[in-house]
């Protein structure tokens, strides 16, 4: 009987080890990404998990001849000699002189979209229709490696701050925040809802773990089709107890963002360089009250009619203003109007017209909403009634307050939107592997 020990050793040499194997024969594996045939030799680019490795075919040292099985998108094992290659900028690069190649899997057709060039240049909709193929392009996949880095940084920082990772249910008996933008589901004859946010669950877990976070899908049945909204996206949420001010939440987010940006710089260098990502420097983040920000906008922009919220052009203006005034890519806007924030938001005791809440703008785009929550039972029930809600429908939610909760608050951060804006895309679909919008549920 066989025993499984947990050890796998294929004996492949990763590209990072090429520098220690110059003039030696090594074994690699990967997908043939691109073949360029010259008069008497050929370049064969091999796509590995994170790099492209340049291999050189030549009858001089290759023990086989190019043939119809050696095609792009075939998977191969290759042996060859590592050589230092010449680069124009003098940087160190290594390539492989192929001795032998073994094709272990062959495609049945040529990709419908060109993916072996530097960039996928087709229309976004064609790109998205062919996602299982287009994501193979190194620049496309680098977007999602960066995205991994962002969520990994969020998680690692919060773990270091004693947060517990949770998984809250996505099938709920009620829409989290009420409203009409919820997907309905037939659940064994009952109507239930897909979670719009983990809000009520993460709050419920504050008296349990004190600090919690979740990185998980949320679902919003928004009917409009814009470049910055998705109907399903990954929300990075946290909630923390025993806060002394709602600025504690902003401090926690600032710490997380610093950590994330540093992680990208240090652990995601190949992708940061490939995509020429302009990583923001964060020392501290300035704050402005909603009222004051609105005044600035009214002074500088024309035709502002909605005095209760910001239009995208106002956010963009505030972003530029923060850059000019404070040399900051980020700006916290605080104290949003009470009537524009959800029922669980705590009003400012010094001015109940406004709330202890904030949005974070990143280069002029809102990426976070957060704030302090009501923890007192009677205060929460009173606010629900004032807003025309029936507290009886929130009985299990109100267990949090009824049986005691410390002062707390938290925030939510859309992963795809942050990725989009960091990478300078105009459409969030560019930063979504398999986007779901009003017209798209496939692939």
Task: Write the Ramachandran bin of 145: left for phi over 0, alpha for psi from -120 to 50, otherwise beta.
Answer: alpha
358, 334 contact by CB (below 8 A): yes
Q: Rule CB under 8 A: which of 331-370 touch a copy of itself? A: 332
User: What is the DSSP secondary structure assignment for residue 431, as one 8-state letter?
Assistant: G
Q: Which is nearer to a copy of itself, 364 or 435 (CB)?
A: 435
Q: Rule CB under 8 A: which of 39-68 touch a copy of itself? A: 48-50
Q: Which is nearer to a copy of itself, 48 or 79 (CB)?
A: 48
Q: How buried is 311 (Cβ within 10 angstroms: 0-12 exposed, 13-18 middle, 19+ buried)? A: middle
Distance CA 93, CA 91 (A): 6
DSSP codes joined into one string, 189-200: TEEEEE-S-SHH
Q: Which is nearer to a copy of itself, 83 or 280 (CB)?
A: 280
Stretch touching a copy of itself by CB under 8 A, among 35-43, 273-281, 299-307, 434-442: 434-442
323, 339 contact by CB (below 8 A): no
* Nearest-approach distance from CB 155 to a copy of itself, in angstroms: 8
* Nearest-approach distance from CB 374 to a copy of itself, in angstroms: 11
> Judged by CB under 8 A, does residue 114 bind a copy of itself?
no
Q: Which x/- pattern over 150-189 shows residues binding a copy of itself (rule: CB under 8 A)?
A: -xx------x--x-xxxxxxxxxx---------xxxxxx-
Q: Rule CB under 8 A: which of 232-261 touch a copy of itself? A: 232, 234, 241-242, 244, 247-248, 250-252, 254-255, 257-258
Q: What are the strands of the beta sheet with 365-373, ordered from one edge?
A: 164-165, 211-219, 232-241, 408-414, 365-373, 357-362, 330-334
Q: Which of 25, 34, 178, 207 forms a contact with a copy of itself (CB under 8 A)?
A: 207
Locate 267 and state its tokens: 């652990």
In sequence order, what are the residues at sequence separation of 6 or more whose Cβ sits closer than 8 angstroms to the Cβ of residue 405?
A: 203, 206, 207, 241, 375
* Nearest-approach distance from CB 12 to a copy of itself, in angstroms: 8
Stretch touching a copy of itself by CB under 8 A, among 61-69, 228-236, 302-310, 364-372: 228-236
- In a 3-state reduction of DSSP, which class is residue 316? helix
Q: Which is nearer to a copy of itself, 42 or 192 (CB)?
A: 192
> Judged by CB under 8 A, does residue 281 bind a copy of itself?
no
> Judged by CB under 8 A, does residue 73 bind a copy of itself?
yes
371, 346 contact by CB (below 8 A): yes
> Judged by CB under 8 A, does residue 220 bind a copy of itself?
no
Cite the active site residues: 220, 222, 228-229, 366, 369, 417
């Amino acid at each position: 009987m066989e025993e499984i020990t947990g050890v796998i050793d294929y004996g492949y040499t990763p590209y990072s080890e090429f520098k220690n194997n110059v003039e030696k024969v090594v074994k690699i594996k990967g997908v043939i990404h691109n073949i360029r045939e010259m008069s008497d030799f050929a370049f064969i680019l091999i796509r590995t998990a994170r790099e492209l490795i340049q291999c050189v075919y030549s009858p001089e040292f290759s023990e086989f001849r190019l043939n119809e099985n050696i095609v792009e998108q075939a998977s191969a094992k290759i042996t060859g000699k590592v050589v230092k290659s010449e680069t124009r900028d003098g940087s160190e690069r290594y390539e492989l002189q192929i001795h032998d190649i073994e094709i272990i899997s062959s495609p049945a057709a040529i990709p419908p979209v060109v993916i072996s060039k530097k960039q996928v240049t087709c229309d976004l909709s064609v790109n998205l229709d062919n996602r299982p193929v287009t994501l193979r392009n190194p620049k496309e996949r680098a977007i999602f490696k960066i995205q991994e880095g962002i969520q990994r940084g969020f998680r690692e920082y919060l773990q270091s701050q004693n947060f517990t990772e949770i998984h809250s249910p996505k099938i709920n008996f009620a829409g989290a925040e009420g409203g009409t933008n919820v997907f309905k589901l037939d659940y064994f004859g009952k109507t239930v809802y897909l979670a719009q946010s983990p809000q009520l669950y993460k709050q419920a877990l504050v008296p349990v773990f004190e600090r919690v976070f979740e990185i998980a899908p949320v679902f919003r049945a928004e009917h409009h089709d814009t470049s910055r909204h998705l109907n399903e996206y990954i929300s990075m949420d946290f909630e923390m107890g025993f806060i002394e001010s709602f600025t504690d939440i902003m401090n926690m987010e600032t710490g997380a963002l610093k950590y994330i940006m540093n992680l990208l710089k240090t652990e995601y260098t190949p992708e940061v360089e490939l995509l020429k990502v302009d990583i923001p420097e964060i020392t501290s983040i300035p704050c402005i009250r909603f009222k004051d920000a609105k005044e600035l906008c009214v002074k500088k922009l024309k035709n502002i009619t909605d005095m209760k919220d910001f239009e995208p052009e106002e956010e963009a203006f505030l972003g530029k203003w923060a850059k000019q005034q404070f040399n900051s890519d980020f700006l916290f806007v605080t104290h949003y109007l009470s009537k524009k924030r959800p029922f669980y938001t705590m009003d400012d005791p010094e001015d109940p017209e406004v709330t202890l809440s904030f949005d974070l703008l990143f280069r002029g785009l809102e990426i976070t909403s957060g704030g302090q929550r009501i923890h007192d039972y009677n205060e929460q029930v009173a606010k629900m009634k004032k807003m025309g809600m029936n507290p009886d429908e929130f009985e299990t939610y109100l267990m949090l307050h009824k049986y005691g909760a410390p002062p707390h608050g938290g925030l939510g951060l859309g992963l795809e939107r942050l990725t989009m804006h960091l990478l300078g895309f105009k459409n969030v679909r560019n930063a979504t592997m398999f986007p779901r919008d009003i017209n798209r549920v496939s692939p």
